Each structure stands twice: as structure tokens, then as C-alpha cells.
């Protein structure tokens, strides 16, 4: 299988590891062993070469119970890993820099603290998703074992940019993944399928390039569309799942709704938006697909239609039109017919 980044196949002397200290969870990817040791320094050095340099310290008097096991299957742009520690350990990798880590707990628990929030993970409860630009500290307790998916940073950031229609930029995820919800269940199922497939193939065979790419693309799409992150809003807008209108333009539209009978003043509207007149005009074109004048006309026509439907006996169309700010009656009548499919007179007569 292909290596990710500068990962090196490194395994410490298995004779140093005490089998009795191995994590009680059923180990996965056993034929892909990279690290098996009872020495803290060896574990930190070897696992650090596969992931990134980090501080590793036994806590809660766990020195005698310490053991480390790391099995790793590499693919193009990602890897799936089984990592287990005997006892309890504090892990401080700082910023991951080159990759994202999705950590799915199999046994024990882990306290994860990032700049964004703190969480506690555990089997069937909560997983953690670490972003490369956010400093992280963890404490794994109770013989914690996890399946960990490593995703290349560039791969994630380029896919997020494509989904959101924006320039490539850092992506920072909400680190908590609820395993009881649809997303957690979907991710768990995809990871389990990958691990089982890798175990069936063994280390001397590999997934086809097509199969590996298919798993990677589906996994990225699920993760980026369903787990909240710094580009989620851009992705929602770009894919039509959210309104793309900035708050400044919404304020201007609301102002036009309440002041539709008053003369149009672009300078005043630009001040409300906090932009220049040209920026306001471009914003209306981009986000509403119309001009300020056309939107005001549409609002006035809607008001005219409502007034005609509630007109009192004897009220004249011309008087209502002038009240609403129309000054050119023939143009008003033409625009009204185009919008409502009948003349103002026909609306008045039909409802009288």
C-alpha cells in the first residue's frame, strides 16, 4: 500500500512489549503492526514518525501499566490506524500541521482539549475530529484504543474549497462527532468496512486505485457536508441549502419594504448597508439577481395588488397608484400585467 507523507514503516522490538499489557479491546489490523512496546520513549519516537512529533507521558501512576500498539494501513491520501495505550497517558501533539485525525474510540475514554472546546470521547458515545491548525492536548484513560483515520490536509482543504466554491483555505472542524447520530453511524460503518477490507487483503495486497479513490471521495463528502466546520456555510450556500444574502443587503431590502412609497435614494440605502453606492448595486445584482430600482418596483406592484384587492367602493386606481409612488401610469399598468397576468382594472373589477 502507498505511504502517506513521510510515514516510515517502523516497529520497535516486540520482545520489549508485555503481552499482558496489551489493550483489552480486540486489536485491529494486526498484520499491519508498526509499533509494539512497553517503553514510553520508544513509543513516542516511533508513533511520532508515523503521525507527528508529540509529548507522551503516563499519568495517574500508569508507568508500570504502560504499553503502546500501533497498526497502520496506508492508502493514497489517507490511512487507517489502530492505536492502543495501556494505562493512562497524556498526549500533546500541539498542531498536527499536515493532516486531520478522526479518532473513533473502541475502549476506554479520552479527554480532548482544543482551542475550540473540550470533550470526552468513548465507544458508541463520541469521537473526536482534530484539525491541523488547532492546538490539541489529549489524555487517554482506561486502556484506551481507537481506530484513527488520517486525512491529508491538502486533500481535505481542496475538496472543501471545491464544495464551497471558494479559494483553498484552512478548514477547522467542530471536534465532537456524536456516534449515536446519523453522521457518527455513517462514518463508523465506512471505517469498519475499510478496516475489514484491509484485514482481508493483508499487507501484501492493496485496494485497487479505483476502490481507494471511491472510499476516499465518499468519506470526504460525508464528512464535509454533515460535520460542521469553518466552510460549512459556504458549502451550504454554494449548494443551494442556505440563503446567500448578506445581512447588509437584507437590511436594505427590509427598508425598501417599509418605505416603498417614498422616493428612491441610493445614497441613503448605501449608508444603511454600510457600503458605497456601486458596491450596493453590485450586491443586489449578485445576490438578488435584480437592481435596486427593479426590486422597489416589484415591492410597489405587490402593494398595489394588495390595495386593489381591499379597495373601498369608489376608490380609483390612479389615486392608489400615486399613493404608492407610481408617477407613470402606463408603465405601471404594463409592469403590473407582466407580474400578475391581468391589468390593475381587471383585478379591481374582479374583486369588487
The pLDDT tens digits for 58-106 are 999 888 999 999 999 999 999 999 999 999 999 999 999 999 999 999 9
Q: What is the arithmetic mean of pLDDT over 267-289?
A: 86
**In the chain, what percentage of residues exceed pLDDT 70?**
90
- Asked if pLDDT for residue 274 goes beyond 90, the answer is no
Contacts of 131 by beta carbon, 8 Å cutoff, 6+ apart: 96, 100, 114, 170, 171, 172, 173, 175, 229
Report the alpha-carbon distance of residue 232 to residue 219 in Å, rounded.
16
Q: Which of the listed CATH numbers 3.40.630.30, 2.60.40.1080, 3.40.50.11720, 2.60.120.10 matches domain 14-238?
A: 2.60.120.10
Contacts of 195 by beta carbon, 8 Å cutoff, 6+ apart: 28, 29, 73, 80, 82, 147
Identify the pLDDT of residue 260: 87
Report the alpha-carbon distance of residue 89 to residue 85 in Å, rounded.
7
Superfamily of domain 247-351: Homeodomain-like (1.10.10.60)
**What three-state secondary structure class fits 264?**
coil
All 3 cell numbers of residue 240?
A: 443551494
Q: What is the arithmetic mean of pLDDT over 320-331?
A: 89
Cell 398595489 belongs to 304
Q: What is the arithmetic mean of pLDDT over 158-171?
A: 90
Whole-angstrom distance between the N-terminal and C-terminal Cα of the chain? 79
For the ranges 36-50, 187-201, 267-281, which has the lowest average pLDDT?
267-281
User: Domain segments of the chain: what residues?
Assistant: 14-238, 247-351
Identify the pLDDT of residue 242: 59
Amino acid at each position: 500500500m502507498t505511504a502517506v507523507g513521510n510515514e516510515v514503516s517502523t516497529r520497535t522490538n516486540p520482545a520489549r512489549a508485555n503481552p499482558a499489557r496489551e489493550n483489552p479491546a480486540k486489536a485491529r489490523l494486526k498484520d499491519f503492526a508498526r509499533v509494539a512496546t512497553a517503553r514510553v520513549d520508544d513509543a513516542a519516537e516511533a508513533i511520532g514518525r508515523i503521525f507527528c512529533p508529540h509529548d507522551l507521558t503516563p499519568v495517574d501512576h500508569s508507568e508500570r501499566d504502560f504499553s503502546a500498539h500501533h497498526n497502520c494501513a496506508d492508502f493514497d491520501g489517507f490511512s487507517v490506524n489502530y492505536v492502543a495505550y495501556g494505562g493512562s497517558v497524556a498526549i500533546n501533539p500541539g498542531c498536527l500541521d499536515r493532516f486531520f485525525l478522526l479518532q473513533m474510540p473502541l475502549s476506554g475514554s479520552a479527554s480532548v482539549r482544543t482551542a475550540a472546546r473540550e470533550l470526552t470521547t468513548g465507544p458508541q458515545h463520541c469521537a473526536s475530529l482534530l484539525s491541523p491548525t488547532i492546538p490539541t492536548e489529549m489524555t487517554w484513560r482506561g486502556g484506551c484504543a481507537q481506530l484513527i483515520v488520517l486525512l491529508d490536509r491538502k486533500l481535505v482543504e481542496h475538496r472543501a474549497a471545491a464544495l464551497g466554491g471558494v479559494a483553498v483555505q484552512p478548514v477547522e472542524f467542530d471536534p465532537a462527532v456524536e456516534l449515536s447520530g446519523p453522521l457518527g453511524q455513517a462514518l463508523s460503518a465506512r471505517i469498519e468496512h475499510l478496516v475489514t477490507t484491509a484485514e482481508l487483503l493483508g499487507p501484501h495486497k492493496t485496494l485497487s486505485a479505483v476502490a481507494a479513490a471511491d472510499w476516499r471521495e465518499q468519506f470526504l463528502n460525508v464528512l464535509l457536508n454533515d460535520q460542521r466546520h469553518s466552510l460549512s456555510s459556504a458549502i451550504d450556500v454554494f449548494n443551494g441549502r442556505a440563503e446567500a444574502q448578506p445581512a447588509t443587503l437584507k437590511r436594505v431590502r427590509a427598508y425598501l419594504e417599509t418605505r416603498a412609497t417614498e422616493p428612491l435614494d441610493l445614497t441613503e440605502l448605501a449608508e444603511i448597508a454600510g457600503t458605497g453606492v456601486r458596491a450596493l448595486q453590485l450586491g443586489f445584482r449578485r445576490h438578488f439577481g435584480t437592481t435596486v430600482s427593479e426590486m422597489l418596483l416589484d415591492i410597489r406592484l405587490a402593494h398595489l395588488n394588495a390595495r386593489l384587492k381591499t379597495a373601498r367602493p369608489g376608490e380609483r386606481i390612479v389615486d392608489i397608484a400615486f399613493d404608492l409612488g407610481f408617477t407613470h401610469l402606463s408603465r405601471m399598468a404594463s409592469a403590473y400585467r407582466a407580474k400578475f397576468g391581468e391589468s390593475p382594472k381587471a383585478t379591481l373589477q374582479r374583486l369588487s
